[in-house]
């Protein structure tokens, strides 16, 4: 039931937001732009010590990235932790994180892509979190992404109305929203962060995969029982997918459709979230309702 998924307090002007880089290195100017955006809207911002650093492809060593994220999790004054970007790196430190202070001083975890691992881990702890654009997407010149994130963080949850899609499966569903990047979700199967998808509405997205790899991930997730007992399925961006020397024969959307065609739950294609310019925030752990008809899809937050 949804009441088991706890929600950090919504933000008010003056609250503290920490920016950290638990995975890939990021151009410092992108983080500094995000810092200015949130300060302009009345928030206190702390950029963690190693967030602007570089250690090969990472923002810092494992110990440095762990230290930054742990300090933000432990900070009783921090109300939200904004990741600078995804990339790769959380797998190397997730099992060393201590969430005891977080349980006492909960805060919003904000990000997507590699941050899916942290969302999934929090899902096991029954906390809501925000799948959304990160600091590297925010700027003074075009603050629209930041404003959408702030709107969620302040409790303004939208209703979505989407155009119909040829592969949609009609129906109604109500349940807890969960999921994220499919590559990350399949990589944590069998771990202590593995996602419980039973009777949930699963959201998936991915980027830059060969079509055969996407197919393999869908069948891996299916064989693990993660697609069998969903209440519903929402597919976001499947962007920059690549074919091999020999044509795979199916589009990314058709690959997903084939993997779930035996089930009866409603399926929505084309939700505007993921690795794409239009990346709508999603409150994971929230209860939602979706209705898919010939006219399109409607999604609303219930809690």
The string of pLDDT tens digits covering residues 53-90 is: 999 999 999 999 999 999 999 999 999 999 999 999 99
* CATH assignment, 160-301: 3.50.30.60
Residues in the chain: 303
Neighbours of 186 (CB within 10 A): 19
pLDDT in tens, 292-301: 999 999 999 9
3-state DSSP assignment of residue 116: helix
> Does 289 score more than 50 pLDDT?
yes
What does the H/E/C string look like for 95-119?
Answer: HHCCCHHHHHCCCEEEECHHHHHHH
- Does residue 77 contact residue 103 with C-beta atoms inside 8 Å? no
Q: What is the pLDDT of residue 3?
A: 58
- Does residue 211 contact residue 242 with C-beta atoms inside 8 Å? yes
**In which band, very low, low, confident or very high, does the pLDDT at 2 lie, cut at 50, 70 and 90?**
very low
Instruction: State which H helix or E strand residue 64 sits in.
Output: helix 62-74
- Mean pLDDT over each residue of the chain, to the nearest integer: 96
Domain ranges in the chain with CATH number 3.50.30.60? 160-301
**In which band, very low, low, confident or very high, does the pLDDT at 108 lie, cut at 50, 70 and 90?**
very high
CA distances in angstroms from 215 to 100, 167, 187, 222, listed in the order given? 38, 16, 15, 11
Task: Tell me the backbone φ, ψ of residue 162, rounded to 5 degrees.
Answer: -115, 150
Q: What is the pLDDT of residue 242?
A: 97
Average pLDDT over residues 224-250: 96
pLDDT in tens, 157-201: 999 999 999 999 999 999 999 999 999 999 999 999 999 999 999
- Does residue 285 contact residue 129 with C-beta atoms inside 8 Å? yes
Neighbours of 56 (CB within 10 A): 7
Report the predicted TM-score, pTM, of the whole model to 2 decimal places.
0.95
Q: What is the pLDDT of residue 142?
A: 75
Q: What is the pLDDT of residue 1?
A: 44
Domain ranges in the chain with CATH number 3.40.50.10740? 2-153
Tell me the residue ranges of DSSP E strands in the chain. 16-20, 44-47, 78-83, 108-111, 129-131, 160-162, 171-181, 201-207, 232-239, 267-268, 282-284, 287-293, 296-301
> Does 140 score more than 80 pLDDT?
no
Distance CA(187)–CA(195), nearest Å, equals 11
Fold of 2-153: Rossmann fold (3.40.50)
């Amino acid at each position: 039931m949804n009441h088991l998924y706890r929600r950090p307090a919504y933000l008010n002007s003056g609250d503290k937001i920490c920016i950290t880089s638990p995975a890939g290195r990021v151009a410092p100017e992108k983080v500094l732009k995000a810092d200015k955006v949130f300060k302009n809207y009345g928030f206190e911002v702390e950029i963690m010590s190693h967030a602007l650093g570089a250690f090969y492809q990472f923002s810092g060593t494992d110990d440095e990235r762990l230290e930054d994220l742990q300090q933000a999790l432990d900070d009783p004054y921090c109300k939200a932790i904004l990741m600078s970007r995804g990339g790769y790196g959380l797998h190397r430190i997730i099992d060393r994180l201590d969430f005891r202070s977080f349980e006492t001083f909960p805060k919003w975890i904000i990000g997507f892509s590699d941050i899916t691992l942290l969302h999934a881990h929090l899902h096991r702890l029954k906390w809501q979190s925000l799948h959304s654009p990160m600091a590297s997407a925010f700027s003074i010149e075009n603050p629209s992404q930041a404003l959408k994130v702030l709107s969620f963080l302040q409790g303004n949850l939208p209703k979505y109305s989407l155009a119909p899609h040829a592969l949609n499966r009609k129906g109604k569903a109500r349940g807890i929203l969960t999921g994220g990047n499919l590559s990350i979700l399949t990589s944590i199967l069998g771990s202590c962060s593995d996602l419980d998808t039973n009777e949930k509405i699963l959201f998936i997205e991915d980027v830059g995969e060969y079509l055969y790899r996407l197919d393999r991930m869908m069948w891996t997730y299916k064989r693990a029982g993660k697609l069998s007992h969903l209440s519903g399925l929402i597919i976001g961006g499947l962007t920059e997918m690549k074919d091999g020397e020999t044509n795979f024969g199916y589009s990314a959307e058709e690959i997903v459709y084939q993997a779930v065609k035996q089930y009866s739950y409603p399926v929505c294609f084309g939700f505007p979230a993921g690795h794409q310019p239009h990346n709508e925030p999603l409150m994971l752990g929230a209860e939602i309702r979706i209705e898919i008809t010939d006219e399109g899809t409607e999604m609303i937050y219930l809690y």
